[in-house]
Amino acid sequence: MSLDALILTSLRAAGDGAVSGAQLSQELGVTRAAIWARIEDLRSLGYDIEASPHRGYRLLNAPDVLHADDLISRLGATQVIGRDIRVFQETTSTNDVIEKLARDGVKEGAVVFAESQTKGRGRLGRGWMSPAKRGLWFSVLLRPDLRPQEATRLTVASATALRRAIELQTGLKPEIKWPNDILIGGSKVAGILTELSAELDRVKYLILGIGVNVNLNPGDFPAELRKLATSLKAELGQPVSRPELAVAILRELDHDYARIDPGQFAALADEWEEHGATIGREVVIRTGDRQIRGRAESLGEDGELLLRTVHGHLERITGGDVALEK
Amino acid sequence: MSLDALILTSLRAAGDGAVSGAQLSQELGVTRAAIWARIEDLRSLGYDIEASPHRGYRLLNAPDVLHADDLISRLGATQVIGRDIRVFQETTSTNDVIEKLARDGVKEGAVVFAESQTKGRGRLGRGWMSPAKRGLWFSVLLRPDLRPQEATRLTVASATALRRAIELQTGLKPEIKWPNDILIGGSKVAGILTELSAELDRVKYLILGIGVNVNLNPGDFPAELRKLATSLKAELGQPVSRPELAVAILRELDHDYARIDPGQFAALADEWEEHGATIGREVVIRTGDRQIRGRAESLGEDGELLLRTVHGHLERITGGDVALEK
């Protein structure tokens, strides 16, 4: 961890109490002047840190910005995800950035956030609106030992984790629309874009691109999206702390990444189905120029959607656009 | 086409006849001096071009080098593959080069050759030996409208095309070992590495990396490969023209790329099976830490191998290492 992350970890551990400069200096093995310089820097980023000559330093408030050191400090120990976190003020797409890191051999679990994206990507070559500091736009690099056709399991795991993190942080009850949308009251509040680089029988790396509409106002959405999309702030009536939500999502992702294992996937799929807006519903699936109508029965063993068509066949659906009927 | 490609096309069209500088100048819309300069350049590359004041220019012989303009000239019109050909003297891996082109938006059908590769790649993270000017080491960029799990069809198409091109050029009778090896007399003479970049339900681009041991001598192979690998020259007892073979392969690839369509794939799979060293044989497949033994029955509809296990189950195999038993 960096010095900033270590200082923030100590201040948070002290809770309402304070930590003296002498104590920080000793714990972290740097001079008190170095501590003071870092505290000044954190303050300039918006961290409200009280410095009292008698008691020491106290963290009163953290700003709603994404600061890599702070995210690492808040996240604490994880199995895989989030040991390497990078934050960009602006990128084309965080998936592009992390793909470059992937090719450079960066370890799995690396996470790239951007305060804004100029070319945010949605599924099937579509765009994703990512206004500055209103949402969470980030990508996670994974190197699972999977065949490409098993990769749908990761969309199931990430949707489950994302849904649970939102519920934990906000108390809202999001639903999952297969394969990758998180809905509240039928409107999209978050989405996942899974991209992979593979040989025919081996995933080389996989990227989860996640977008969460956190504090967007209705006016932030273009007119054509206003009925289809929503934000956590709009649903809750008050803003949500983006760094807290970010950390909650990474923690749940780390937890569910371990559950894509064949032995544990059934329980994960059950949780998905319990909160799914798709299973048991009549749906229309558009994939390429094909359209399939039927009843969504369940998730298959690799996370594909099993659809009972009007002709009684069971179709394994691995992609496409799902429209829910009534 | 470049001026070099146009000149070579004219010279080849004239066959044993000659083409005058005046005629070339008029046809190609450049000065006779410009034609002369290009002819001099081609000569310096090893092209044996006779210049007679009375008759004009005549192509007596082309060198065994890969020259992008010449390859384009020889290839002529194709549907998709080879309209954009680039030749490097040395690269890490042609798959790396073409992947970069793919990300930059280059059209499908682009081909990158290298006279030698410093980090040639085989399947499953293995290396591929690519000594300078002894083989064909190249990659083809495709953007098929397929789901990732359908991509195996392209390995079938490329193996079929590669096998046929080698037979056409050499008269040898290569066999295909599923999924991606071309064998002569049981030894590997060529291989295909298929890599793809995809969303879960959509291939963004796919790269065929092809390596053909053309004119390697037995001593070019490391000792541990000498029993497993061979070259066309070793089998034929004489060298094979690499540019001629390259063009034949691109032409057959272009032909078979159109056959991955569901309506035509059955015929392609039949051709594959007819020349397969795998179908009807007892095989052992190693995939990850799993080992499956059975009889290879046929190709499935997406090019996967259908294996009848000793327990009588039919397994769909999409990857792994295939060992042929007796």
pTM: 0.84
Instruction: Report CB contact under 8 Å: B179, A198.
Output: no
Q: Is A202 on the interface with B (CB under 8 A)?
A: yes
Say if residue A124's pLDDT is above 70.
no
Q: In chain A, what residues touch B122 (CB-CB under 8 Å)?
A: none
pLDDT of residue A212: 96
Topology (CATH level 3) of domain B68-274? BirA Bifunctional Protein; domain 2 (3.30.930)
Instruction: Report CB contact under 8 Å: A199, B319.
Output: yes
Is the Cβ–Cβ distance between B283 and B323 less than 8 Å? yes
Q: Is B92 on the interface with A (CB under 8 A)?
A: no
Say if residue A257's pLDDT is above 60.
yes
Pairing between β-strand A282-287 and β-strand B321-324 as defined by DSSP bridges: unpaired
Interface probe, candidates B98, B201, B317, chain A, greatest A C-beta count within 10 A: B201
Topology (CATH level 3) of domain B282-324? SH3 type barrels. (2.30.30)
Q: pLDDT, tens digit, for every residue of B231-281? A: 999 999 999 999 999 999 999 999 999 999 888 988 998 898 888 888 888
Interval A99-127 mean pLDDT: 87
Instruction: Report CB contact under 8 Å: A318, B194.
Output: no
pLDDT of residue A326: 56
pLDDT of residue A128: 76
Q: Is B198 on the interface with A (CB under 8 A)?
A: yes
A133: left (phi over 0), alpha (psi -120 to 50) or beta: left
Instruction: Report CB contact under 8 Å: B201, A149.
Output: no
pLDDT of residue B326: 56
pLDDT of residue B125: 67
Pairing between β-strand B202-212 and β-strand A305-309 as defined by DSSP bridges: unpaired
Q: Is B155 on the interface with A (CB under 8 A)?
A: yes
Domain B3-61 sits in CATH at: 1.10.10.10
Q: Is A262 on the interface with B (CB under 8 A)?
A: no
Q: pLDDT, tens digit, for every residue of B159-202? A: 999 999 999 999 999 999 887 899 999 899 999 999 999 988 88
Q: pLDDT, tens digit, for every residue of B68-115? A: 999 998 998 899 999 899 999 988 899 999 999 999 999 999 999 999
Average pLDDT over all residues of chain A? 90
Say if residue A319's pLDDT is above 80.
no
Instruction: Report CB contact under 8 Å: A199, B193.
Output: yes
Domain chopping of chain B, boundaries: 3-61, 68-274, 282-324
Q: pLDDT, tens digit, for every residue of B127-153? A: 777 787 899 999 999 999 988 888 888
Q: pLDDT, tens digit, for every residue of B48-71? A: 999 988 889 999 999 999 999 999
Q: pLDDT, tens digit, for every residue of B3-59? A: 998 999 999 999 888 999 999 999 999 999 999 999 999 999 999 999 988 889 999
Say if residue A316's pLDDT is above 80.
yes
DSSP letter string, B64-127: SS--HHHHHHHH---SSTTSSEEEEEEES-HHHHHHHHHHTTPPTT-EEEEEEESS-B-GGG-B
Q: pLDDT, tens digit, for every residue of B186-195? A: 899 999 999 9
B24: left (phi over 0), alpha (psi -120 to 50) or beta: alpha
pLDDT of residue B124: 64
Interface probe, candidates B199, B289, B318, chain A, greatest A C-beta count within 10 A: B199
Q: Which residues contact A13 (CB under 8 A, 6 or more apart)?
A: none
3-class SS letters over chain A: CCHHHHHHHHHHHCCCCCECHHHHHHHHCCCHHHHHHHHHHHHHCCCEEEEECCCEEEEEECCCCCCHHHHHHHHCCCCCCCCCEEEEEEECCHHHHHHHHHHCCCCCCCEEEEEEECCCECHHHCECCCCCCCCEEEEEEECCCCCHHHCHHHHHHHHHHHHHHHHHHHCCCCEEECCCEEEECCEEEEEEEEEEEEECCEEEEEEEEEEECCCCCHHHCCHHHCCCECCHHHHHCCCCCHHHHHHHHHHHHHHHHHHHCHHHHHHHHHHHHHCECCCCCEEEEEECCEEEEEEEEEECCCCCEEEEECCCCEEEECCCEEEECC
Q: Is B196 on the interface with A (CB under 8 A)?
A: yes
